[in-house]
Chains A and B, each alone.
Chain A
């Protein structure tokens, strides 16, 4: 398969390995140690790391800055970009900024509405939507041009991804939506975290029916539950989240101090089951504020050591 960028993630996919990524949230402050310490915990167990972009609209250190910190310590960052806060000028500008530090992966998202965050009275931008941002980055890379038409000096060589939620409403357009993102140029997809494996396998079956798994690299999102309480919260309060009752029952069935380990066990079992599903090219392990558990999950899922590419 043709390699288009210096991205390590792209190489892992295209050499036929199962890829592993994880995620870090930048701090609500300016201490780089808050980023680098998380990087240190996971660096040998992942191929690349997402840095979130003002997630849930809470103002944090910028994703780009945090990516630079990770890059400088030898990790492979994935720059998450939401379209909520920046217009097309700033988005293209930040892509170039990232490329100047040889950050080679970007994940394009809309972003949670600002009313969820700490600046509910602010404006939102949405000059582009997430699909148009995918198109934009591909255009900058493949045509070497700005949206305005002029040539870019040293075009960015970015491996472009998008998110997918197999469980969001309306279910009937989940696969057409994935097809649309691929048509816009999404080269890899990270899904929202999965707990309903049966429903996910059904989504994957529909994805395979349209051959979409061969046009993009699909990574299954995995987040270990810390407790039965967390599982219940996610079921009730997080939009687009499908948490089967059996999972909650299983967690509630063990004593409180053992629930976290049970949650990790469930996560490992899910990864092992999904490794066998055709079309799954990797796993995106999101253990927010619990990054120290990533190594255990990756090792027990048989995904360690990470391949040298």
Chain B
């Protein structure tokens, strides 16, 4: 997750199964914890923890997935480009 932001991603969205239905039992709980950790780190370095988010749904719920994807996309567009991306682009221009 952090590498994505490092390379200039404006947002990252993580999808896992419904809580309690994970094939790997607790994989989605651990993922949620890591998403929370990443959000805290992103806050502490001024990128913004709201740019990473986790959603839960079952693999058969195509339309719901699309809805979440649109929601995330709208949210990130509203936030604008990540300050890391802006800085990377500025660096490239200067070089």
- Indicate yes or no for A touching B, C-beta below 8 A: no
Interface residues of A (CB under 8 A from B): none
Interface residues of B (CB under 8 A from A): none
